[in-house]
Amino acid sequence: MSHFVRVRFAPSPTGPLHLGGIRTALYNYLFAKKYGGTFVLRIEDTDQKRFVPNSESYIIKTLKWCHIEPDEGVGYGGPYYPYHQSKRLNIYRYYINKLLEKGDAYYAFETDEDLDRKRKEYKEMGLTFSYNYENRNKLDNSLNMTNKQLKKKLGVCSSYVIRFKINPGEKLKMHDIIRGCITVDTDHLDDKILLKSYGGATYHLASTVDDHLMKITHVIRGEEWLSSLALHSLLYRSFGWESPNFAHLPLILRKDGKGKISKRDADRLDFPIYPMQWMNNNTIIPGYKELGYFPDAFVNMLALLGWNPGGEREIFSLQELIKSFSLKRIRKSGVFFDIKKVYWFNKRYLIKKKEEVFYFLCKKVQKNTISKYKTDYFWKVINLTINRIHFIHEIWEHSFYFFIRPSFYDPYFFNKIKNNHERIILKLNHAKSLLYKINKFISVNLKLFFQNYEENKCRIKMMQLFRLSLVGSLKGVDLFIILEMIGKEESIQRLDNLIKKIKEKI
């Protein structure tokens, strides 16, 4: 494939990008980079009624966070400026006039109310109304007027749309890179609107014109546009232009089987659907970035959400994804999204990013204690606890007890032991006196100490008490390693603190 590959990501500024949108951007980016091509960002903002403030900046920030920045387009410049469709209305007007001159488009004067009445009439007869070749000659449009009548109508009527005229009786054959040959009977197509009543171009016209003028070679977009492929192919043919290559991506489905992932469900789902944080009706909806996911782990996960590189391998850097990517290995059917898999990816990357964990832990320790610890100590703590976490920010929760004393004790277990407080205090004091006698305070010796400590049942109970004193709960890594690392003096002090706390509760 030549280096003249040009692809575009063309979102509408109607809110934040969700998983499906950012995956579309990613696949366009990977395809362009694989063939040394150009990745263009275009903003399809012709529908100003649906415009949502801050959407555009959100889109650009998200692409930057994912490290899939465009080579050209909004925020990046380029030879085909402007890249906002709202600034290209004169261009669309020029091309709509060409279609009108050829007779491939026509004026339609029905209002929304008129069409609603028609639909109601047809429904009462058990039929479905469609603005197509069967009905258009019976409706209020320029196909049923002389030029003189049309001019008069345009002179007194400011409200109209322009529709594309579909000719019936053709089996239209098209090709999709992912889905293969697609055949559509034009008898089943309706005459879609190309220019709206307020003068704005629809997606169908604007995207076709822009893709041609911007020399887009491959249109990689979501499956929801597959039903528009026939219309877009006919538009290309009507203009006399070569059609780009099309690839329609599968839907990302909810694992609960309740349809595709949608923005409408963003605040109701138990997993994030946005790459970055978004504010909706004064409610902050966190994204993957704010929840602690690595951008490269997020991108790696997203790439495999519908694309299969072949083989069992799952971990790919961005450069490896570029090298391996192929549109032909994208699946046709929808793919289920599983948040547990995203956790798995982040954990794999976390293990590769121990340096970042190290710096995060150092800052946390500096903030919470004045004590000084050697670098080796930090690394030992990280190696002991990293397999227990999925995110960098979780490291402190799982390792704080190596640096500071617990400030509270598990209330459930604490309440159990305080009912037998006198015996517990005696046992803890006895164990404390025995600890003093251990010369070499290392895990091997400490393990032997507990093995020789009374019968098995009492030994288990005592180990739980020790863990409670050291950690504040029955969680944490190997008890004997904790004792060795914090040392004899600190261990005995934490036992004293637990004894004191039990006495306070008596």
Distance CA 142, CA 168 (A): 19
Q: Are strands 245-249 and 218-222 parallel, antiparallel or unpaired?
A: parallel
For the residues of 357-400, what is the DSSP string, one character each? HHHHHHHHHHHH------HHHHHHHHHHHGGG-SSGGGHHHHHG
Distances (CA, A) of 168 to 65, 101, 131, 133, 376: 48, 20, 13, 7, 77
Distance CA 413, CA 417 (A): 6
DSSP-derived secondary structure letter, 170: -
Q: Is the dihedral of CA 49, 52, 53, 59 positive or negative?
A: negative
Cis peptide before 295 (omega within 30 of 0): no
Q: At what angle do helices 456-471 and 443-451 cross, to 10 degrees?
A: 140
Answer for the pair 150, 85: CB distance below 8 angstroms, yes or no. no
Partners of 173 in the β-ladder: 183
Distance CA 10, CA 84 (A): 10
* SS3 readout for 112-141: HHHHHHHHHHHHHCCCCCCCCCCCHHHCCE
Residue 149: burial class (beta carbons within 10 Å; 0-12, 13-18, 19+): exposed
Distance CA 136, CA 159 (A): 18
Answer for the pair 355, 64: CB distance below 8 angstroms, yes or no. no
Q: Are strands 335-337 and 252-254 parallel, antiparallel or unpaired?
A: parallel
Question: 331 CB contacts (<8 Å, ≥6 apart)?
Answer: 250, 306, 307, 308
Catalytic residues: 263
Answer for the pair 52, 10: CB distance below 8 angstroms, yes or no. no
Q: Which amino acid is at 392?
A: I
Q: Which amino acid is at 218?
A: H
